[in-house]
Amino acid sequence: MVDWRMQRVNNGGVSLAVFEVAGSATSADDRHRPTVLLVHGWPDTHHLWTHVAPALAADNHVVAYDCRGFGQSDRPDGDAAYRLEALADDLFAVADAVSPDRPVHVIGHDWGSVQAWEAVTRPGAEDRIASFVSVSGPNLDQLGTWARQKLRRPTPRNLGHAAAQVGSSAYTVFFQLPVLPRMFFGVAGSAAVWREFLHRVEGTPRDRVIVGDTLRQDMVSGLRLYRANIRAKLIDPRTRSTLVPTLELVNERDIALRPAIFDDTYQYAQRLWRRSTPTGHWLPYTNPDHLVRSASDFIATQAARSTPDIAARMDRTRVFGAPHALSGKLAVITGAGSGIGRETAFALAEQGCELVVADIDLTRADETARQSKALGAQATAYEVDVADVEAVTEFATRVRDRHGTPDLVVNNAGIGLAGGALAATDDQVDRLLDVNLRGVISGSRAFGRQMVERGIGGHIVNVASAAAFTPQRSLGLYAASKAGVLLFSESLRAELGEHRIGVSAICPGIVDTNIVGATPIAGLQADDEDAERRRLDGLYRRRGFTPDRVARAIVDAIVHNKAVVPVTPEAAIGYRIYRFAPWLSRIAARRKVTG
């Protein structure tokens, strides 16, 4: 538990209970450390920050307060006392009391973020607020403008976004009714019920939800926030911009707020950073470590205390325009020196990702990184042989230590082997399976463990092949390696689903890459093997399906969390034949393709 030290701050006759973490950089020698002001929402109190405040207090002077109407603060009568203007006045009053000489760094959650938006958009706010971390709480004026714009341009996409948010916000209509919500929370507003609700909605461990003795009162009193502000702001939005550096933590699984409502924030914040993760609404309870890491990095950067690694992490989340679906995410790609891997790097660079590109040929990986930087992405190249399990493990550790845990991993590195299974050498078989199958397993395991430990989800893409479900007499060994990738990916998806980690198997058919030119053909003499490779390479080139199209399918699979993606037309057809008429696949498999 946190050792809170309480004081009182008065604002316009309203007494606010303000809590300072005891020993959190409060000595005279430590006053140079930033003051971090934590602002809660409904129906919480300062107890919301129980798992966040101690970690922040290691490097900061940490203060929280019970907003008016909650906890140990006064509960003025009437709805007018709970308008955002009054709440912003409270925030400034607390800031002046706890840090009179220096601006504070604000972290707001839910209605705490909503009222902080009101504060940071006031003229001159940047003189008193050094930075703002917004969690699950929009600027209501911006939200009203966003809704109006969607309805003025009633495209299917706009209407879909608006309808999704209306559905998520339906509870606010009930909250504004005069009698029923008071009666409801008067009966159901117990700590046990609240803990069970958060556990069922977000999977929050019940013992992590810390509430005060005033929870039932807070639920009822806090309803005034909804009645005093929502209708007025949505009917007559008056958007204003802010000069305060702002980090927006977007929770993709937020029960109340759809991610799309934050897409226009960049228009109102001159300096905006954004981090989007598959997390839920009550981040301070459910994923406090993620909130602490994100806020600490941001505050350190704004307070000029960041290291080069922190600065690099923050750079990738900086927003200069409308965000992409994968903006700010860290992506690792193996086999990135050419073909599908290189094009995937370019596609993710265009999405605003930071890239870690790996290949057995460092020169080619460097070239991919250089071209990705030309697209505006941060990119770092590494040399890795994915067939070496120890090397993959060391690579994953280096990535975590230097860049952080990746959000996306694309296990793309692969080699080919054609010809008869009986004609192949043991060395050829071992190398094929070590790269194509064991390499994918090693990468998935090493980075998957990191994602699970971090606790905020992620996505793993394993590049298989249409050969995984189209048996061929001339590609039996290659097909076996890729079938292993496919079934491993499906199984891993089931295993990691509870951790919000998606797994996709990408299954291209005939794609014009350089893999054919390097593919051994077992059972042929050297001259015949060269001639056969040239013939197959020409066939692939004439097919004309380029790797950039596979890269687009990979991005789509990540965004929409697809399980199995047959990419080319022949792959899609082969997948369905193998599922619904496998005897046709067996007949086709007898045809000799090579040799």
Distance CA 293, CA 52 (A): 10
Taking the alpha carbons of 209, 214, 220, 226 in that order, is the dihedral positive or negative? negative
78 CB burial (10 A radius; 0-12, 13-18, 19+): exposed
Residues whose CB is less than 8 angstroms from the CB of residue 79 and which lie 6 or more positions away in sequence, other chains included: 224, 227, 228
* The pair of three-digit structure tokens given for residue 168, joined into one six-digit string: 């998520």
| CA 20/CA 57 separation, integer angstroms | 10
Q: How many CA atoms lie within 13 A of 535 on its CB side?
A: 10
Is there a contact between 39 and 108 (Cβ–Cβ < 8 Å)? yes
Strands (E), 422-498: 458-463
Task: Write down the number of H helices and E strands in the chain.
Answer: 23, 18
Assess contact for 140 and 84: CB atoms under 8 A: yes
Beta bridge partners of 10: 15
Residue tagged active-site, from 226, 268, 478, 540: 478
CB 395 within 8 A of CB 370: no
Spatial neighbors of 53 by CB under 8 A, at least 6 apart, are 2, 21, 24, 38, 62, 64
Both tokens assigned to 94? 């607390």
Residue of 356, 317, 339 lying closest to 550 (CA atoms): 339
Three-state DSSP at 37 gives strand
Active site annotation includes 478: yes
Q: CA-to-CA distance for 336 and 575, rounded, in angstroms?
A: 26
- In whole angstroms, give the CA distance from residue 595 to residue 590: 13
Q: Quick one: angle between helices 156-168 and 140-152, nearest 10? A: 140
Instruction: For the sheet with 272-277, list strands across it.
Output: 4-11, 14-21, 61-65, 35-39, 104-109, 129-135, 246-251, 272-277, 318-319
Cα 260 from Cα 325, distance rounded (Å): 10
Written as six digits, the tokens of 367 are: 């070239």
Query: Which residues have CB under 8 Å from 528's CB, separation 6+?
Result: none
DSSP per position, 161-214: HHHHHHHHTHHHHHHTSSSHHHHHHHHH--HHHHHHHHHHHH---GGG----TT
Q: Quick one: residue 419, left, alpha or beta (phi over 0 = left, psi -120 to 50 = alpha)?
A: left
CA separation for the pair 466, 543 (Å, rounded): 15
Give the residue numbers annotated as catalytic, written as ranges: 478
